Amino acid sequence: MTKRCFSSSQLYAMRNQINIQRLIEKKLQIPSRVIKGCFRFLCPLCNGSDTAVNPKTNLARCFSCKMNFNPIDLVMAVTAQSFVETVEYLKPHLADNRTD
């Protein structure tokens, strides 16, 4: 069995404490806008815009391709990086997120 590179608490924090809407808008710069009070973004998988973000669960959803994204999943989809590369990319954003 290989040694884990990241603790469960680190991964939990990345999934739950990095604001997914802010990640979409500011860090990944995915095209997005607010339509009738609802935040929409361009899905990185299907390019659909029938999307939403749930701030309570910190998840994004594309209703066209039926995919859910947490911050790790979203970065992997946008950048085509591996899981390890994505977690390394997000590490500094945990600290950034606490000061925003």
Q: Which of 37, 39, 59, 36 is nearest to 49 (CA)?
A: 39
Q: Determine if residue 59 is left, alpha or beta; phi over 0 gives left, psi from -120 to 50 gives alpha, anything else beta.
A: beta
Q: What is the pLDDT of residues 73-84, one digit of tens each?
A: 999 999 999 999
- Looking at beta carbons, which pairs linking 39-45 to residues 24 or more positions away fall under 8 Å? 43/67, 44/74, 44/77, 44/78, 45/77
Say how far apart CA 48 and CA 44 lie, in whole Å: 8
Query: How many degrees, rounded to 5, is the angle at CA 62 between CA 53 and CA 26?
Result: 50
Q: What is the pLDDT of residues 31-84, one digit of tens each?
A: 999 999 899 999 999 999 999 999 999 999 999 999 999 999 999 999 999 999
Amino acid at 63: F
Specify the pTM: 0.86
For residues 90-100, give the mean pLDDT.
69
Q: What does DSSP assign to residue 67?
A: E
